[in-house]
Amino acid sequence: MTVTVVGIGGSVRADSQSERVLHAALEGAREAGAKVRAITGADLELPFYDPHVTERSSRATELVEALRSADGVLIASPGYHGTVSGLVKNALDYVEDLRGDTRPYLDGRAVGCIGIAYGWQATVTTLQALRSVVHALRGWPTPLGGAVNSAETRFAADGACDDEKVAATLSTIGRQVVEFAERQV
């Protein structure tokens, strides 16, 4: 059975560094044999999550259905003022729509977390915030998390990374999501 990994992240700016980082981690999952899907940028421009509103936009429905069918998840968020961006956090709030499922929220799913910021402080605090959100959603953060300081590491448009250690870390996170998911399916 092929594992499905859904990646969520990036910013409203198309092809941002955080989106490129997400794609690098997804490539690690793909190389480990997973079917991958990225939900980034404009696809994350969703109405503010409101649990009392039951109607969902087509983008929100697509996000929830992708997560429902995911065996594993990768999340890459830019660090805005020391934490997860509002765009990514709002997308994660839609996981609440999975509360009544057989596998509620992100229960039993490996989740790779990656924080990206221009400086170490926001990078690390964003990674920690993502791990906390994943725990709250009953997901299992991978043992390795990613902290990418975009002041020191850059990703080219083709996905090439100028730091071999960072590239290896992102690939490992993608592989860890797949390896854990394979044990669960």
The pLDDT of residue 85: 96
C-alpha 122/C-alpha 174 separation (Å) is 22
CA distances from 133 to 62, 95, 164 (A): 21, 11, 29
C-alpha 129/C-alpha 69 separation (Å) is 24
Phi and psi, residue 26, nearest 5°: -65, -35
Element (H, E) at 174: helix 164-184
In the chain, where are the structural domains located?
A: 4-184
C-alpha 32/C-alpha 175 separation (Å) is 6
Pick the CATH number of 4-184 from 3.20.20.140, 3.40.50.360, 3.20.20.70, 3.30.413.10: 3.40.50.360
Please state the pTM of the whole predicted model.
0.96
* pLDDT tens string 6-48: 999 988 888 899 999 999 999 999 999 999 999 999 999 999 9
Residues of the chain where predicted confidence (pLDDT) is lower than 70: 185
